[in-house]
Structures are given as structure tokens and as C-alpha cells.
Amino acid sequence: MFRMLFLTFFGYCRADEHVEKHIHESPWPMTVPLMILAGFSLIAAGLVAGGYRGENRFEKFLDPILKGVLPETGEVNIVHHAVLKELFLMGASLTIAGLGNFPGLPTLLC
């Protein structure tokens, strides 16, 4: 791990001159979404960090979703969940993912 860190940040550039001239920072369309994701990760870390102070805000946030989950074992109490809705959503997502495997499909739909 030390060798990788040292060669990456403190070592000399081993690229040839042609490649070294074309090294640049990422463009804004690539950098801005990463900054947004970093902000969301800080917000999520703030929700989880509440658990260290005695309160767990993340657990309170997920309470409406996880009503049927037993906290001791993680088992799901089926009474609170609509099984048909879950099966329908699983089938829909598998269908959409399967249709994405056909490269010519977007041209047929447009």
C-alpha cells in the first residue's frame, strides 16, 4: 500500500513526453456530478454519525420503510408488505434491464 501511495503522489512521472503534454484535469461535466455525490455522501454521513451521540437519525429516517423488518434477526414480517407489488416491481425491473441488452432497441423506439 505504501509503495502504491508513494509512486502515485511522490514519484516521478513515467509517461513519455507526448502523453505528458496531453495530461489534464477532468472537464466540468464530469467533475460537477462527482461534487454533488460527495455532498450527498457528507449528508448521509451526518445522518449515520448521529448514532454515535446516542440517537440514530438514519434509523428514524428508514422507520416507515422498515416497519415489517424484525430488528433482532432481520427477517421480514410478510403481513406488512404487499407480495404482489414486490413481484410486479421485480418483473418490471428485470424486463427493463433485459430490454437494455438489445443495442438496436433505442433506434426502434425513437
Place of cell 428485470: 94
pTM comes to 0.41
Residue 57 per-residue DSSP state: H
The Cα–Cα gap between 41 and 68 comes to 27
Answer yes or no: are the C-beta atoms of 76 and 67 closer than 8 Å. no
Distance of CA 20 to the CA centre of its chain: 33
Condensed to tens digits (0 to 9), the pLDDT of residues 9-36 reads: 888 888 888 888 888 888 999 999 999 9
Condensed to tens digits (0 to 9), the pLDDT of residues 60-69 reads: 777 777 776 7
